[in-house]
Structure 1
Amino acid sequence: MSHPLHGKIQHKFLLGLACIFLLLGGVFLFSLNLHLREMLHIEAEAKAELVFSHVSSLQQYVRDTLRPSVRGHIPDEDFLLEAMSTSFVTRKVFVELNGQRDQYLYRRVSMSPRNPASQANDLERELITGFRNDGDLRTLRGYRVIDGVEHYILARPVYFEADCMYCHGDPADAPRVLLERYGAVRGFGHQAGDLAGMDFVGMPVDRSVQQVREAITLFGSSFYAAAAGVFLLIIIFFNRLVVANLRRLTGIFRQNFQSPGDRSILNRLDEGDEINSLMEAFGAFAAHLREARVKLEDYAANLEDKVRERTEDLSLEASGTPHRRGTVRGPAG
């Protein structure tokens, strides 16, 4: 017997169809989210690499072109910070001229810098420690929250070179302008090859993430709106092509099996959904036919004996002889 909680075939079909649509929608939106976030990652990484490329180009220009040119026009003991310091120039260009920090975040920092503005914060100290612990590490990248805004970060270590020792080696050899501006304590005592700090670029991705969410919402709404339309069309066609014909077939059973002996067949029509009901009814109908066939075969097999016994009884009655006691068997049922 079917479980009493079984619903109609239409309800089952629609429930299954709704689950399929929900599953497809979930897979579609999940895949779309992965794709858009991968595109966001590629774009943020490309922008960070572009900023680094500009930083490297500017630093190389200061080292190879601007600094030697300025050195030829000033006394050897002088040092023009605004033109000869790669750190000062890159900070001026990429930090102060990017005051809004809405396109990118650039920092050139150290654990113990000469300029307090270049002091590493907690996140930057963590990254510098990573470079210090692994001398082969050339870049660190990933996502971090900075001042409540999610950023894609890209960092690379900066090492002292021989040319750097003029300003970062012995304070006695340092340019007078640096000592007057920053003092003789911070930023000195280094050797070529030491880890100076790092260049750090952060690309804010909160707006892009919001755009991804809006795109997911838009595509999800469009998909489920279209799915709802298709769902309604399927309901109409399924109801007309399947459910209506199944109910007609059920009605035929109810019209042709009205006797009390057929009650077991009709009872099956009230169990489960339409298809299950018809299967149960056909099973009961087949059992009914099998039982009737057995009775007919039994009646046919004993028909000759029944006729002979009846003939003898009639002959005895005609001759006035009391017929033998017994019961004449008729057709089974």
Structure 2
Amino acid sequence: MLKNLRLRQKFTILLLVILLMGLSLSGFALSTLLRQNAKNDIAATGVMLMETMTSVRKYTTAQINPELKEKLEVKFLPQTVPGYSAREVFEVLRQRKGYRDFFYKEATLNPTNLRDKADNFETEIVEKFRKDSNLKELSDFRKLSGGDIFYIARPLAVSEPSCLECHSTPEAAPKSMIERYGSTNGFGWELNEIVGAQIISVPANTVINRANKSSFVIIGLVSAVFAAVILLVNIFLNSQVIRPLKHITRVAEEVSTGHMDAEFDKFGNDEIGNLAKAFKRMQLSLEMAMNRLKKSHGNTST
């Protein structure tokens, strides 16, 4: 099949094969690298959000709770709960375009509000933090029935003595809180105990889509550059190889039919130029041989 193709077509096919092989081999490596970069970017955003929620918790404990403490005996105010404040602030933040895919949960082993109850997977995360005090952060992908998610988790410890006013014993807790949540859950906590984990999660397809978007852009740019290279190679090949070869072929055909006045152009000192010089020498040798033949034939006739 290739024998029937022109030289320029063969070079074009060769370059296209190189392009496809290069894209295939580099595509996987590029996809893996960009996926890791996308994961790192999202992880950095998640850490920033978690730091923000931690700040909200501290602000609630130090500023809001003392101001509303007396009212808790009459009416329970969830705004005094650091976890509630953090979650509500996060929901407001999620209304912004850049954070809509992020989710926040304070997964707790024994929460007052069962909404914060850790599931089996989250319980394993909390137990890892409880067993290893040096472990400060975990991140990975998690498989769910609705699709995989990427999560970042940090330990949630009882760092303030004021937390024990609501979580030590039912007798010490505000009556309004007992009336709302009961006296069964959320008690028995101890100071500095890790009771849960702050978890920021985002659908895995967000990570994958961000990586794919970058991959498409880079592959598109590489393909465009390579297309330009193919065009330039074809232009160079046409001017420096194909056109001179066509000229040499045409002149050689003219010489072969007896047109000794046909001229081989000079093409420099490269291989094409040397080929033209070789044909020129062959033309001169052929012309000399034909002249001798004519002269010999003339002498014989005489």
TM range (shorter): 0.5 to 0.7
The answer for the alignment partner of 2:82 in structure 1 is 86
The answer for the alignment partner of 2:122 in structure 1 is 124
Question: Equivalent residues in 2 for 1:167-206 (5 A)?
Answer: 167-204=166-203, 206=205
CA distance in 1, matches of 2:163, 2:245: 90
User: Structure 1 residues 193 and 237 mapped into 2: Cα distance closer, same or farther (>3 Å)?
Assistant: closer
* Aligned partner of 1:134 among 127, 132, 135: 132
CA contact (8 A) 1:143 1:150 kept: yes
Number of residues paired by the alignment? 257
Q: 1:230 is matched by which residue type in structure 2?
A: V
Displacement of 1:122 in angstroms is 3.5
Q: 2:90 is matched by which residue type in structure 1?
A: F
Displacement of 1:31 in angstroms is 6.7
Question: Equivalent residues in 2 for 1:6-25 (5 A)?
Answer: 10=7, 13-14=11-12, 16-25=14-23
User: Structure 1 residues 240 and 64 mapped into 2: Cα distance closer, same or farther (>3 Å)?
Assistant: closer
1:51 paired to 2:53 = no
User: Structure 1 residues 23 and 147 mapped into 2: Cα distance closer, same or farther (>3 Å)?
Assistant: same
Per-residue CA distance 1:54-110 (angstroms, 9 max, x = gap): 211111111112222223x448x6674424321232233334885898242010121
The answer for the alignment partner of 2:109 in structure 1 is 111
CA distance in 2, matches of 1:146, 1:96: 25
What TM-score does the superposition give when structure 1 sets the normalisation length? 0.59
What percent identity do the matched residue pairs reach? Answer: 25
Displacement of 1:144 in angstroms is 3.4
Per-residue CA distance 1:10-42 (angstroms, 9 max, x = gap): 476555433433344456656764664455334
CA distance in 1, matches of 2:33, 2:142: 21
CA contact (8 A) 2:39 2:207 kept: no
CA distance in 2, matches of 1:246, 1:99: 68
Query: What do you get for the CA RMSD once the two structures are aligned?
Result: 4.4
CA distance in 2, matches of 1:51, 1:222: 34
Q: 1:197 is matched by which residue type in structure 2?
A: G
User: Structure 1 residues 94 and 21 mapped into 2: Cα distance closer, same or farther (>3 Å)?
Assistant: closer
CA contact (8 A) 2:126 2:197 kept: yes
Displacement of 1:7 in angstroms is 9.1
What TM-score does the superposition give when structure 2 sets the normalisation length? 0.65
Unaligned runs of 5+ in 2: 257-274, 276-302
Q: What SS does the corresponding residue of 1:172 show, helix, strand or coil?
A: coil
Q: What SS does the corresponding residue of 2:112 show, helix, strand or coil?
A: coil
Question: Equivalent residues in 2 for 1:311-330 (5 A)?
Answer: none
User: Structure 1 residues 79 and 64 mapped into 2: Cα distance closer, same or farther (>3 Å)?
Assistant: farther
User: Structure 1 residues 147 and 47 mapped into 2: Cα distance closer, same or farther (>3 Å)?
Assistant: farther
Displacement of 1:117 in angstroms is 0.7
User: Structure 1 residues 99 and 146 mapped into 2: Cα distance closer, same or farther (>3 Å)?
Assistant: farther
The answer for the alignment partner of 1:323 in structure 2 is none
CA distance in 2, matches of 1:113, 1:246: 85
